């Protein structure tokens, strides 16, 4: 496995608890990276020889501003292209937002600002507008990232993971519990592919505060406190992974079929079926389906 990007889930904690969130972010969540661990993780990224970019996201990474800023400085000094993702709760005024962002100028390549009707009471919030204006003043490239309301007739189709502009809900994590029950289902055996992740050669993966390396949020392929990232990449065999292998062979339908979970129940989308199957398989494959934070169980 040759990685070019590593996304740091700096914290599972968030000031929001949005219904569409697939990492169960909330004010009550636990799990935050420390600077010693960030240094360790960045050094392991360097040692792969292939990772060129890192992103810091969450949860809401700006909740731990000092740690985030130092992490960005470290990553930039090591030659990584750095990006940030935030809901811009801190952008209460343009001048305030400039004060938040100016220290990142020259260190980050982009800032993605999340704003939609799950986060705020308007699609593009005042905070998001302030953050985008402040980023322009600070010379930082910024973009708006929005999730369409589930069930909207003109809601866009999901393509990949959170592409630029408005995208659709992926019904995993909290969305599988809060949003899926409201919407029409399709037959379980129609979900024969994983439409959002390249599970064979992902290119980029997510790293959480517990050291877990996620090929898709909640599907773990190793832990950086147990095995160096370079070794995880070298040893990764999708055909040997108990969850990845059936997903590659036939999507969520095959995952359910292989482990005796198939039935007459329908699902909103492939993520919904996959997440539901993984919930049922967690005790059987605890090393592959973790941590509790990703499954709303902590």
Supply the pLDDT for residue 277: 97
- pLDDT, tens digit (0-9, with 9 covering 90-100), for 154-188: 554 544 445 455 567 889 999 999 999 888 899 99
Domain total of the chain? 1
Closest among 93, 3, 1 to 41, alpha carbons compared: 3
Supply the pLDDT for residue 151: 61
Supply the pLDDT for residue 154: 55
Strand pairing category for 142-147 and 110-114? parallel
Burial class of 206 by CB neighbour count within 10 A (0 to 12, 13 to 18, 19+): buried
How far is it, in rounded angstroms, from Cα 2 to Cα 25?
29
SS3 286: coil
Please enumerate in sequence order all residues whose Cβ is within 8 A of that of 156, keeping only pairs 6 or more positions apart, or say none.
Answer: 148, 165, 166, 167, 168
How many other CB atoms are found less than 10 A from the CB of residue 117? 16
Return the CATH number at 204.
3.20.20.70
Supply the pLDDT for residue 121: 80
Supply the pLDDT for residue 166: 54
Residue 183 lies in a domain: no
Residue 272 lies in a domain: no
**What does pLDDT average to over the chain?**
92
Residue 122 lies in a domain: yes
Residue 32 lies in a domain: yes
Residue 190 lies in a domain: no
pTM comes to: 0.93
- pLDDT, tens digit (0-9, with 9 covering 90-100), for 22-54: 899 999 999 999 999 999 999 999 999 999 999
Q: What is the domain extent for residue 25?
A: 5-175+198-236+289-295
Closest among 89, 167, 101, 87 to 133, alpha carbons compared: 101
Please check whether residue 196 is in contact with residue 207, taking contact to mean a CB–CB distance below 8 angstroms: no
Three-class SS string for 148-189? Answer: CCCCCCCCCCCCCCCCCEEECCCCCCHHHHHCHHHCCCEEHH
The parts of the chain modelled with pLDDT lower than 50 are 156, 158-161, 163
Please check whether residue 267 is in contact with residue 185, taking contact to mean a CB–CB distance below 8 angstroms: yes
Supply the pLDDT for residue 212: 98
Please enumerate in sequence order all residues whose Cβ is within 8 A of that of 296, keeping only pairs 6 or more positions apart, or say none.
Answer: 24, 173, 174, 177
Residue 141 lies in a domain: yes
Supply the pLDDT for residue 159: 42
Residue 244 lies in a domain: no
Residue 280 lies in a domain: no
Quickly list H helices, the chain.
35-48, 65-77, 94-101, 126-138, 174-178, 229-235, 244-258, 270-281
């Amino acid at each position: 496995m040759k990685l070019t990007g590593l996304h740091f889930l700096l914290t599972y904690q968030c000031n929001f608890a949005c219904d569409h969130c697939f990492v169960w972010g909330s004010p009550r969540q636990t799990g935050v990276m420390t600077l010693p661990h960030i240094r360790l993780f960045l050094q392991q990224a360097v040692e792969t020889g292939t990772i060129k970019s890192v992103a810091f996201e969450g949860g809401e990474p700006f909740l731990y501003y000092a740690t985030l800023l130092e992490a960005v400085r470290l990553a930039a000094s090591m030659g990584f292209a750095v990006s940030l993702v935030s809901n811009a709760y801190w952008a209460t005024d343009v001048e305030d937002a400039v004060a938040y962002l100016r220290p990142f100028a020259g260190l980050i390549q982009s800032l993605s600002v999340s704003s939609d009707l799950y986060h705020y009471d308007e699609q593009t919030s005042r905070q998001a507008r302030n953050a985008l204006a402040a980023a322009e003043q600070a010379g930082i490239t910024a973009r708006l990232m929005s999730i369409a309301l589930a069930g909207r007739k003109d809601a866009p189709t999901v393509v990949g993971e959170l592409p630029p502009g408005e995208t659709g809900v992926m019904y995993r994590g909290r969305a599988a519990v809060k949003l899926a029950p409201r919407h029409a289902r399709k037959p379980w055996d129609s979900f024969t592919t994983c439409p959002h992740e390249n599970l064979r050669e992902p290119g980029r993966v997510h790293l959480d505060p517990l050291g877990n390396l996620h090929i898709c949020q909640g599907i773990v392929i190793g832990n950086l406190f147990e095995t160096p990232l370079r070794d995880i990449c070298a040893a990764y065999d999708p055909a040997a992974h108990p969850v990845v292998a059936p997903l590659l062979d036939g999507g969520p339908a095959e995952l359910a079929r292989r482990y005796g979970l198939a039935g007459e129940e329908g699902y909103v989308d492939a993520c919904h079926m996959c997440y539901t199957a993984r919930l049922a398989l967690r005790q059987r494959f605890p090393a592959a389906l973790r941590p509790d934070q990703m499954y709303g169980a902590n």
